């Protein structure tokens, strides 16, 4: 039978190897408009406890607009 210390160590190890959830629900917090007609939407994702910003223009929400470019920073870059 495992001791509480062994059980706790197992839980910590398993949490480090978990992948992010396959479904993320983003809730919009605010929208800001800049002078050059650029807009930025701020979203919050509860499951990963992170804010995500999405820059866009009004024409991008139509079906003929170009896709929104994505930017992200990996955890490896954050360690440096």
Where along the chain do its domains lie?
21-67
Q: Indicate if the pLDDT at residue 70 is higher than 70.
A: no
Cα(76)–Cα(71) distance, rounded to whole angstroms?
A: 15
Burial environment of residue 8 by CB neighbours within 10 A (0 to 12, 13 to 18, 19 or more): exposed
Task: State pLDDT tens for residues 26-35.
Answer: 999 999 988 8
Query: What's the rounded Cα separation, in Å, for the pair 15 and 19?
Result: 9
Scanning the chain, the segments in alpha helix (DSSP H) are: 4-16, 75-79
Angle at the Cα of 37 from the Cα atoms of 70 and 29, rounded to 5 degrees: 60
Main-chain dihedrals φ then ψ at residue 40, nearest 5 degrees: -130, 125
Please tell me the predicted confidence (pLDDT) of residue 74: 66
pTM listed for this prediction: 0.50
pLDDT per residue over 11-27, tens digit each? 655 555 577 778 889 99
């Amino acid at each position: 039978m495992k001791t509480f210390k062994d059980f706790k160590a197992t839980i910590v190890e398993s949490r480090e190897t978990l992948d992010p959830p396959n479904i993320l629900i983003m809730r919009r917090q605010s929208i800001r408009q800049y002078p050059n007609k650029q807009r930025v939407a701020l979203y919050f994702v509860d499951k990963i406890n992170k804010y995500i910003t999405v820059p866009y223009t009004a024409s991008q929400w139509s079906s003929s607009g170009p896709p929104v470019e994505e930017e992200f920073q990996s955890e490896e870059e954050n360690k440096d």
